[in-house]
Each structure stands twice: as structure tokens, then as C-alpha cells.
Amino acid sequence: MGKRAAIVIGVNKTGTLTPLKAAISGAEEVSQWLSSEGFKVKVLTDKVKALSVRDIKKAVTKVIDGGGYDKLVVYFAGHGYLNGTSEIWLLSGAPDDPNEAIDQSLSAEFARSCGIPSVTFISDACRSLPQTLAGNRLVGVSIFPNRQAPVDVEIDRFFATRPGDAALEIPETEASKRYVGLFTEILKSCHLNPPDSLMAQIEFEGKPTVVVPCRRLKDTLPQIVDNAAQQKSILLTQLPQLRLECGNDTFLARVQFTKGATEQNPRITTIGVLRPRRLQHDAVMGTDDPDALYYSSDVQDALSNTQFRSDINRFMTAQSIRDENRHSGFQVMGKSVLNVVEIASFPHRRRHAGTATALSPLRPEEMARSVLIEFDDGTGSAIVILRDYIATLFVSNIGIQSISYVPSPQSARGEEYEGQRKRTEQLRSIAAAAAKNGILAVDRDDAKRFGDLVRMAKRWDPTLGLYAALAYAEVGLKSDIRSVARHMRSDLGIDFFDAALLSDTFDQSTRIFPFVPALSQTWMYITARGHRLPEALKRAGRHRTASTWTTFTRDGMTILKKAIEKGEIQ
């Protein structure tokens, strides 16, 4: 049996933000809990002095360099943001110093090459959107070093809340003034005399041991935490999110029995007969029920949410407009178009007004063209115009929330698409809503199912291929990403920036469309994949909104337009 280590972080005070009461106490309790489970624990808090990124990087690197570890747990309690699509943990010096924060998403990607087979991130922090300019400017860094160990690493993530929500703090007892994070307390309590449904018996360190497998917590823990929150106040709600890549035998801790039960309890099932994950619908393409098209447990839960269904309906409406008179082009819903810059061999500027903008025809040799679109509020985006496709952009006050491509009625695919239109629009709308809400694919099973669903549909809309590539990237399935990129190249005759980057097939000699990532979440992988952007694009990338699809602020657009005029972007 290999060694196990844990880096436990607690930050009560971050800059001028409201000080927390639960972060340090939660970290100390987790440290004691994991130490009792045989973990070698390093505790890092701001109890005595400010805590920096350097302190945490040093601790993580020491574990990796120590060798022989087969599991590493990284626990964080403190202030957190969902900045765009990145999970940001704030340390003592943030937000004044934008680099004194941890990008959990980037850290997870670098952890895939750390050489430790199992890495678990536990976050008892908010995932709310920053409300200030300083919060939006937080960058966040990876706490894992840039290594290339040839080990398949499973990444598991336990988040105290769903994207966009706040994690709650509650008093541990009415008599005590010491606070604990609700999520941390419930996670620990699930290992103390748990119900039979959470327990399993495995072979651990040479003997039968009763544990709580992580996968059994996936569907159960969110409801337990939410029930506990509502017991404090009927107005409170807190639904954790577990994103798992582990197998059925992975666990955080053993079960502790204090009520007369024993490890020989005959009702405990063994790991070999764990119940399969609950699937509420069959994945049947062409069904009239859009719920059946994409059935991850998180999406199923979200489908009962009014806002989530509203997102789906809006995206369905945005897809329904078709232009019968054009072979290629785009249209915008939600904002007016002020200006379009076409990126061709000889870039030039064209001014238009309205939501349907005419473009210079694609030349016979052009399969695609990148364009920079400026909206009437000064924000904008780079998109790709595809031969024989019409793109529809749905834009809200924070940027582009969905893009869809539909074969032009005048193209050879136009007639074929009519037979696939309904199921493609249903799947595309659910995928767009899931991406917007941060639940596109939360484990490898979800990513595989989603990928299978869009394998054929991405022919009718390449954005489905980009969603699939991103879902695969989130759970480390690189061979599946390469398959998506290869088929998209074959279907379209071009390389999408996102697919090429995520699949590690970026060829500098090949024209990539558009010239920046189309999806906001892909930006995080630029650093992780070792790709270098031109300086102008790098600077513009620091000025993006928190939208699902890349949308630049007014400042970002100014940088891009100047770079195009100077010929720095081709």
C-alpha cells in the first residue's frame, strides 16, 4: 500500500473581504480527521501570518518530490470565486495581488502530470461570481509544478456548492462560538455510523475494511447537506457538486462505528456488487423528450430548476431562425452589431448595423474565415464563418451565452439536416445550458455518454464537437478529444482553435479558426498545454467577460482592433 498525503488550507481573512470564522477551524478538523486515517498532513492557515501561493506550492512540490505517494488530498476552506469558468481560491494577499489566488481548474490540469495516481480536491468555498472589478481581475495560478510524469492520474473534485452559489457557515453548537463550514462538517459526519447504503467493504492494507466509497457520496451528499442547511433556515439551500473520475473502490476515509455496529455487519455490501449509478432516462436520439438526450445526474437535477429550463428554451429559440438566402454568414440575437472586421489575407473593416450582417463572400479556396464582431456596447468576439453554415449568436448583458451553426438551406447538407434538426436542437440547447451552468460533464461517465450522443450530431453543428472536446478535457480523456478533433477536421476541412488545443494537435503551420479560443473555458488550457499566444492576444485575453463563449470587454476589443490594423493577427 502506498503512502497518502494531504495539503490542508484554511484562510479566514482575505484582503478587505468579510473575514470568515470557519476556514481555519475547518482546516484544523480536516487535518485531525485525515491524520487519523494515516495521511501525512501539512496544514497551512493564516492563523499566525498571511498565507501565500508560494507557501502552498512549496508544500505540494515537497509531496510530489517525496515519491511513493498513491493519493494526495488538497483541501481548501476560504473565500472563492467562479471567475468565468475557473474556480478561484483566494489567499491572504488577494484581491490586491491578482496572483495571490489559486486557480483550482488549472491546478487540476497540472495535477494530471504530477505522478500521483489519485488526486482529490475538496473545496469548502463559495463559487459565486465576483461583484467587483478587482475580483474579476483575479488571475489565479497552479499550485502543482509543471511535470510530465507518465502516470494516468484520476482527479476527483468535491465542491461545497454548485457553480454560482455560496457555501454556508453555521455555528457548531449554540453554546460554542467556534464555527465550522457546513459542507466540511457533513462530509466528515457521513463517515460516522453512516447508513448501509453508503458503506462498502474492501480489502485495505491486507484486511477487510468498511469504507464510504466516493461514488456512493455523489448522489447522497448534496441532499444531506441541503437538508442540513434547510434545518437551519427554510430559506437556505446548499447543493454540493462532486466531479469524480475515480473507480468504485476509491474512498477518503474508513467508517467509524460508535453505535454498536461492527465491521462484520452482514448488511454491508462488498465493492464487487455496488449498485450502478442511477440513470433516469435512456439516451435515445430522436426522442420528443429533450431530458432524455443528456442524462447526467447533475443535468437531471438541474432540469427541475426553472432558470435552467428557461436557459434551454431561450437557446432553442435562438436556433430556430434560418436564412434561406445565404450560403454562409452569421446573425446575432440580443444585441446590435456595430462593426465587423474580417480576418483574411488582406484584413479590412466593414461597418454594418442590425442583427443580420452581410459579409464578403468566401473565396472558392476558403473553407472558413475568422471575423471580429463588435457589438453596440463596445464588447465583442472572434468567431468563425464556415462555408455552407449560418451561425447564430445569442448575446446577453454579460456576453455570448450560446453559438449554434446550422447548415444553409442552399447547401448539400441543408436538406439532410432537416431530418436531424429536432434532435440536434434539443441536444445543443441542453448542452449550452449545461455549459453555462458549469455542469456539462462532471465525471468520466457523463463525458463518455455526452460524447456518444454528439458523435453524429456534431456533423450538423460543430459547436457540439467543441462541447464534447471540453467535456472530455475536464475529465482527462485525451484520446477521445483527439477523435473529436480528427472527425471535425474531416467534416469541415479546418481546425477549430479549441479542438486543436485541447487535443494537443495544435500545428503552427495550419490555419486555425478562430484566432482565439471560442469557448471561455478553453483559455485555461492554453497555459496547461504549453501553447504561446501572440502578445496582443495574450493582453486581450485578460479583458474578457464571464460568458460561456469568449467575449471581450471594450478594452479587449481595442487591443484586438489595433493588432489587426497592424497586421499582428492573420
pLDDT < 70: residue spans in the chain:
1, 84-85, 133, 170-180, 234-235, 259-297, 319-326, 344-359, 455-456, 508-510, 570
Residues 6+ apart with CB under 8 A from 48: none
Cite the beta strand spans of 146-217 per DSSP E.
154-159, 169-171, 179-181, 200-204, 207-213
Cα 132 to Cα 341: distance, rounded to the nearest angstrom:
31
Nearest residue to 75 (alpha-carbon basis) of 125, 36, 118: 125
Phi then psi dihedrals of residue 285, to 5 deg: -65, 140
Grid cell in block for residue 49: 501570518
Per-residue pLDDT of 190-229, as tens digits, reads: 998 898 889 999 888 888 999 999 999 987 898 888 888 8
CB atoms within 10 A of CB 505: 15
Element housing 512 (H / E): strand 512-513
pTM recorded for the entire structure: 0.81
Cα 482 to Cα 478: distance, rounded to the nearest angstrom:
6
- Output DSSP code: residue 101: E
Write down the pLDDT at residue 263.
Answer: 47
**Distances from the Cα of 283 to the Cα of 3, 287, 451, 457, angstroms:** 41, 9, 12, 14
Write down the pLDDT at residue 235.
Answer: 63
Q: Are strands 368-375 and 380-386 parallel, antiparallel or unpaired?
A: antiparallel
Write down the pLDDT at residue 529.
Answer: 86
Strand partners, 162: none
Q: Is residue 483 helix, strand or coil? A: helix
